[in-house]
Amino acid sequence: MDRIIDNYFNVTVLAAALPPVLHGFLITVEVALCVIAGGLLAGLGLALLRCAAIRPLDLLITIYVDLFRTLPQLVVMIFLYFGLPYLGPTLSPFATVVMALGAVLSAFAAEIFWSAIQALPRGQWDAARALGLKPLPILFLVILPQAVRLATPLLNNRAIAITKGTALGTAVALPETLGSAQSVMSITANPSPLTLAAALYLCFFIPLVVASRAIERRVAKTG
């Protein structure tokens, strides 16, 4: 028992690890919030563009969605950080992780939104047209609110799953929670910083899960 405490709950090591790991945790939170906001908005935009029923545009969006739903998150990060500079642009580690995870989330979100829109009965469109509404008001006032209600549970689950990928940011030198903990661990030769990192992850993701469930219940009631 003493060995477990010394290895994973060493007070001296935890005290030394707290400032850098906490700084990394703040970066993790910033990245996660940017990914969720950007990914969901981009996914919604892509789904709405598909409603225009323009064949070439629909094909391009389908290719984008299938590509980023298939590629592992780490592969996308490595390509953006190490491969993109050969084409000209150079991204910071923060921008790389946000763009990579945001692209993956937007692909899943686009498919979820589009599936929710397609799941609504065609009679919704016909009834709105019979009332004299134009296509855009029908989409934004009649169809989209119902589609968002249907899509919310899946979006919440996917957003949480993808934001866990912030831990992969250490591969592109982002000083996030796990990377900071590993740096301290290598210096102290003690894995206690990983315990601190795990605790901080729980402090972020447990409230995020609780909030997502609250959003689902509220959306279900309004429906």
Task: Give the tens place of pLDDT for each residue, 3-58.
Answer: 878 888 899 999 999 999 999 999 999 999 999 999 999 999 999 999 988 999 99
Which of left, alpha, beta for 90 (phi over 0: left; psi -120 to 50: alpha)? beta
Answer yes or no: is pLDDT of 133 > 90. Answer: no
Instruction: Give the domains, in start order, of the chain with CATH numbers.
Output: 2-222 (1.10.3720.10)
Whole-angstrom Cα distance, residue 54 to residue 58? 6
Question: Does residue 1 have a pLDDT over 80?
Answer: no
pTM, two decimals, is: 0.92
Q: What integer pLDDT is reported at residue 63 of this predicted model?
A: 96
CB 197 within 8 A of CB 181: yes
Reference 122, options 141, 145, 140, 138; nearest CA is 138
Contacts of 209 (CB under 8 A, 6+ apart): 160
How many C-beta atoms surround the C-beta of residue 152 within 10 A?
Answer: 20
Query: Does residue 223 have a pLDDT over 70?
Result: no
Query: Please, where are the H alpha helices in the chain?
Result: 2-8, 11-50, 55-70, 73-78, 93-119, 122-130, 135-137, 144-163, 177-188, 192-222
Position 207 pLDDT exceeds 80: yes
- State residue 97's pLDDT score: 97
Cα 138 to Cα 91, 118, 222, distances in angstroms:
40, 14, 19
Q: Of residues 156 and 217, which shows the higher confidence score? A: 156
- pLDDT grade for 79, boundaries at 50, 70 and 90: very high
